[in-house]
Structures are given as C-alpha cells and as structure tokens.
Amino acid sequence: MTILGSITDVPGVLVGHHQRVGRGWQTGTTVVMVPDGATPGVDVRGGGPGTRETDALRPENLVGTVHAVCLSGGSAFGLAAADGVMDVLEPRGLGVPIGGDVPGTVPVVPAAVIFDLGRGGHFGHRPDATFGRRAVLGARRSQQRWGAVGAGAGARSGGLQGGVGTSSSVVTLDADSGADATRSVVVGAVAVVNSNGSPVDPATGRLWEHPATMLRSPSRADARRIRELLEAESATPSPRLNTTIGVVTTSAALSKAETSKMAAVAHDGLARAIRPAHSMFDGDTIFGLATGAVDLGTDPTVMRESGSRHHELNLVLRAAADTFAAACAHAIASAVGIGSSPAYLDVCPSAGRPTRTDPPTPS
C-alpha cells in the first residue's frame, strides 16, 4: 500500500489548521469540516482520553448529523478550541435546528485533544476558541500542509517529532444486480500522532507502516541512530502523556452504528502503525464521518454474498484500517523538527522524503 491522496478526496470534506510556534508556543488545532453534514460515530480506546460530545454520537442518541470535528493540542484546556468552531458554524445555520419558539441552531462539534502542554516552553500557552475559529475559517479542499502543523505542531511520537498525516483510498463495490458498472466509495483519514508508543521498528529503523510512506530503507548508520534514540526514550523513568487522535471519513451512506464501527476498525490501523497503542497513558480516539453520497447494498439478511450490505460494509471497514494506518505513517514521514524532538528524517536522512501521489482510482 502507498500513501495516496488525502482525506479531502472524500467529496465535501475540508481541512484547516492553525498553530503557534515560538516564544513559548508549540501547539495548534486542526478541524475537519463537512459543510453539507455527515453521519457521525466515534470509538475511544485510550486510557486517558480528552474528548467532547462523544456521548452525543452514540447510535441511540439524538444527534444524527455533524458539520465539523475539532482536533487540538492543549490537553483538556484545548477542548475550548471547539467553541471557536461553534462560533463559525452557528451563523451559517450548521447544527441541530431547535425550531418552535426557539429559532436557531446548536452546532455539535465533537472534539479530542492531545497532551502537548509546555512543549514550547510555557505551560499556559494552549489553544483557545481563537484557534478553532481560525482553523475552520481556513478549511479547504486543497489542503497541502501536513506534518508539524495544526494539532500536530506540539506532537511527539516515541521521542520523535509527531504531526498530522492523511491518506485516502478507493473501495470498489460489487455491481448491483443487473447493473453494468461497478460502484465505488472513497475512504479518507487524518491522524494526529502524539503517541506514547513508537512508529519505528527498532530492528530495521523503518516505520512500522513503511510501505505506506514510499520512503527508502535507512542506511545502517541511520538505523543505528534511530535505535539508540528509541532505547533512550524507553529508558525514560516515567511514561509520557501522549495520544493519537483522528478522523476517518467515507462517501458511503452509513448509519451511526456503522460509522462508529468504522471508527472502531480504524483503531486496528492505529495499532499497526504505533506500537504499543491504547495504553493507560494514551487518549487514543477516532471519529467517523459518513457523507452518504453512495448507498451500500440494501439486503441486510445476506451475510457473505457479493453485493450484500454486510459484504460491502466490510470492504469499507477494511479500507478504514489501512487508510488510518497510512495516515499515521504520513504524519511521521512528513514532519519536520520544530522543537526539542527531532523528526524521523532528521535522524534517518538516508530514508529520503516521502513522495505524494495523485488520489487513487478504482481498480
């Protein structure tokens, strides 16, 4: 598998970043925006999560559509960035309509945060509503800024500079009975990698999801340097307070329960790219968004036959894991060192820079 495209390859999905670096700052916010709305879901696996509005996304609860997800630095303080996203969505009428004698809408903005407090030097410098507002106002389909930006500015991963990464894939569905052409859906992911576990295989010096990055294998000298860094990091007397958070999206029409299942399976990709994952010191959280542009099979009683809903949903779930794993790898491969932690390619320059390619096409 190779890194192809971006979460914004899912039609209707935008991404924006805002960060501050220098003069005691090293933190930021990333917003995934869906102006036309999407069916939400979520799955929280880490032992120390910092989240907002996750209960609203449970399948049995009221909210059926959201228009943005906020990912931020600042630990629990950074949840305030979602207030700024609400400030932008409300005058646009994007939210839950109240109706009756209380006209207006209430934007529901799920959010998750990473621990990066004090990374720039000043514990009190963390995202607030201004960060969320600027990130969502800067959201666009043509987003090209990845790595140590937005919510990834203050991220670390196994002693390395962390970051924000992305990827996408196309899932070819079986043709409907009697149809002449196949259907396809896009699956995209964005990951903020700030992990307690390592993204690097110490035996080889390569990223665990090395094929997803299009990087070369590092030289023996570089592999030795990265191994020594990992050994020094593992000898740290107290565990780091870290987290990997993100969003997985699809153009498929899914229910809230199915979207949450997609987020749950995406954690399998996280666990492939970051080892170990989901510790008591991680707040690993993945949100799901389904834009509903492409219907899946309609017969829920058939389990395994091509064209059945279960069969096609399983193809989407498998892609969610692969795509999120690739997004985690891209976060590390595209990062540049901006603080006290070196980037992967600072330590292993022989691996070379990742090559981004055009979005994939159905096969």
Residue 234's CB: how many other CB atoms inside 10 A? 11
Residue for token digits 């023996």?
220
Question: What is the mean pLDDT of the segment spanning 252-274?
Answer: 97
More confident residue, 52 or 102: 52
Question: What is the mean pLDDT of the segment spanning 139-153?
Answer: 96
- Enumerate residues 6+ apart whose C-beta is below 8 A from 358: 4, 5
Question: What is the mean pLDDT of the segment spanning 131-139?
Answer: 98
Closest by CA to 8, choosing from 160, 204, 140, is: 140
pLDDT tens-place string over residues 276-334: 999 888 899 999 999 999 999 876 666 556 668 888 999 999 999 999 999 999 999 99
Whether residue 40 contacts residue 46, with contact meaning beta carbons closer than 8 Å, is answered with no
Closest by CA to 156, choosing from 342, 349, 347, is: 342
Instruction: Give the range with max mean pLDDT: 55-69, 90-104, 231-245, 297-311.
Output: 55-69
- Residue 35 is encoded by which pair of tokens? 């102006």
Q: Is residue 24 part of a domain?
A: yes
Handedness of CA 291, 37, 108, 124 (dihedral sign): positive
Question: What is the mean pLDDT of the segment spanning 44-56?
Answer: 94
- How many whole angstroms from its chain centre is CA 265? 13
d(CA 234, CA 236): 5
pLDDT over 50 at 178, yes or no: no
Q: Is residue 140 part of a domain?
A: yes
Q: What dihedral do alpha carbons 291, 262, 58, 138 form, nearest 10°?
A: -50
CATH number assigned to the domain comprising residue 164 = 3.60.70.12
Q: Is residue 310 part of a domain?
A: yes
d(CA 323, CA 270): 10
pLDDT over 90 at 337, yes or no: yes
Query: pLDDT value at position 143?
Result: 94
Least confident of 60-69, 109-118, 186-195, 226-235: 226-235
Cα–Cα separations (whole angstroms), residue 333 to 43, 152, 171: 25, 13, 25
More confident residue, 350 or 46: 350
Query: pLDDT value at position 356?
Result: 47
For residue 124, name the pLDDT band (cuts at 50, 70, 90).
very high
Burial class (CB in 10 A: 0-12, 13-18, 19+), 292: middle
Q: Is residue 2 part of a domain?
A: no
Least confident of 20-24, 60-64, 97-101, 219-223: 97-101
d(CA 125, CA 113): 15
pLDDT over 80 at 240, yes or no: no
Q: Is residue 132 part of a domain?
A: yes
Residue for token digits 């949903």?
313
Least confident of 134-143, 244-253, 274-283, 286-295: 274-283
Question: What is the mean pLDDT of the segment spanning 330-350?
Answer: 95
Query: pLDDT value at position 25?
Result: 97
Whether residue 18 contacts residue 29, with contact meaning beta carbons closer than 8 Å, is answered with yes
More confident residue, 359 or 170: 170
Global pTM value: 0.93
- Residue 17 is encoded by which pair of tokens? 């970043």
Please give the backbone phi and psi of residue 237, each rounded to the nearest 5 degrees, phi first: -65, -30
d(CA 271, CA 209): 10
Question: What is the mean pLDDT of the segment spanning 80-98?
Answer: 96
More confident residue, 99 or 358: 99
Query: pLDDT value at position 233?
Result: 86
Query: pLDDT value at position 5?
Result: 87
Q: Is residue 102 part of a domain?
A: yes
Range of the domain at 233: 7-351
- Enumerate residues 6+ apart whose C-beta is below 8 A from 8: 14, 15, 140, 141, 142, 143, 166, 188
Question: How do strand 285-294 and strand 243-252 relate by DSSP bridges?
Answer: parallel
Q: Is residue 193 part of a domain?
A: yes
d(CA 339, CA 121): 10
Task: For residue 53, give the DSSP letter.
Answer: S
Residue for token digits 């120390």?
48
d(CA 309, CA 316): 11
Q: Is residue 361 part of a domain?
A: no
Query: Per the structure, how many domains does the chain have?
Result: 1
